Amino acid sequence: MLDLSQEKIAITGGDGFLGKHLQSHLRNVGVPEQNILIPLIEDYDLTKENDVWRMYQDMQPDVVIHLAAEVGGIGANRQQPGRFFYANMAMGLHLIEHARRQNIKKFVQIGTICAYPKFTPVPFKEENLWDGYPEETNAPYGIAKKSLLVMLQSYRQQYGLNGIYLLPVNLYGPGDNFDLKTSHVIPALIRKFCAAVESGAETVEIWGTGSASREFFYVEDAARAIVMAAQQYDSSEPVNLGAGFEITIKDLAEKIQELTGFQGQLVWDTSKPDGQPRRCLDTTRAREYFGFEAQMPFEQGLRHTIEWWRSQRRS
């Protein structure tokens, strides 16, 4: 077991949604504040190799947790497929290569379930990753991230780099991205419904048919899972991280409608894509390999997220 309290830990994307919760959880397990290193985008453009090299020289980390990504919902993926492929491929490529050169103790790569084939049997099992092409709207992002799994496995084989690959399902929670142009479905719906309540609107428009299903993973559970894996897991096999349930977008929208108090009608824009038909993970490996199980009940997590967004609106 790796005692993280004794290590200098660089977290790419550490100032973002998941990163802030991860910082908090690392402090909870005894990592001193001065050992949590956050390369900010203003200082290091991680898509550029020279900046990655400089980050390693400046920070001298023992462990790297690579959260940073350029990502968004269906709309953003359709508008910027080339950028999303390039940025995510370049960041991972340079960070892993220079982790090898620096001989760091551990590299933790956060992958994406967008890497799974479009019609993966539910629940998704890690061995299904290579059974087909990902859902088209987010395939460039998903394939870029999946290629980093291959890179870590090959670097472990050739160079002995201890790199692990984790696949968290859709995250949500306080501090999420609520920008309607780039947000995922839960923050987008919360923002739309809260705005409709405030304005007295009679309808809320939602993309797709509502028939697609998703699994949602509370961000504090995700942070705890990553820390547990960093401490205890040292193998090449990818590991799903999730809560082990699924809900249709229609049922999700109706639940958020209820929790926000919106009294109007839902209008489904069926000209817009649904994305991948179903998403739900088999989380057996996480439980068996490092003892992780999600704890946050879904409705309670939604309540916390809605309360946080409304508090931000008032402040």
Do 266 and 254 meet the contact criterion of CB atoms below 8 Å apart? yes
* pLDDT higher than 70, residue 315: no
Is it the case that residue 121 has pLDDT exceeding 70? Answer: yes
> In the structure encoding, which two tokens stand for residue 77, read together?
């993926």
**In this prediction, what percent of the chain has a pLDDT beyond 90?**
88
Query: What Cα–Cα distance (Å) separates residue 312 from each residue in 114, 184, 218, 225?
Result: 30, 18, 19, 27
pLDDT tens-digit profile of 46-62? Answer: 999 999 999 999 999 99
Residue 45 in domain: yes
pLDDT single digits (tens) 14-45: 999 999 999 999 999 999 999 999 999 999 99
Could you confirm whether 165 is annotated as catalytic?
no
Q: Is the pLDDT of residue 301 over 80?
A: yes
For residue 51, is it within any domain? Answer: yes
Half-sphere exposure of 205 (CA within 13 A, CB side): 6
- Check which CATH number belongs to the domain holding 159 and give it: 3.40.50.720
Q: Is residue 29 part of a domain?
A: yes
**Domain membership of residue 152 as a residue range:** 4-173+216-244+278-296
Would 180 be classed as within a structural domain?
no
pLDDT at 205 > cutoff 90: yes
- Average per-residue pLDDT in the chain? 95
Hey, what are 67's tokens? 């959260």
Phi/psi at 10 (nearest 5 deg)? Answer: -95, 130
Residue 252 lies in a domain: no
Q: Is residue 205 part of a domain?
A: no
Q: Say what the pTM is.
A: 0.93
Residue 278 has pLDDT above 90, yes or no: no
* Residue 118 belongs to some domain of the structure: yes
Task: Spell out the long-range contacts of 191-194 with Cβ–Cβ below 8 A and sequence spacing 24 or more.
Answer: 191/309, 193/256, 193/257, 193/260, 193/262, 194/260, 194/306, 194/309, 194/310, 194/313
| Better-predicted residue by pLDDT, 133 or 314 | 133
44, 141, 165, 172: which one is catalytic? 141
The count of structural domains within the chain is 1
Residue 86 covered by a domain? yes
For the chain, state the CA radius of gyration: 19
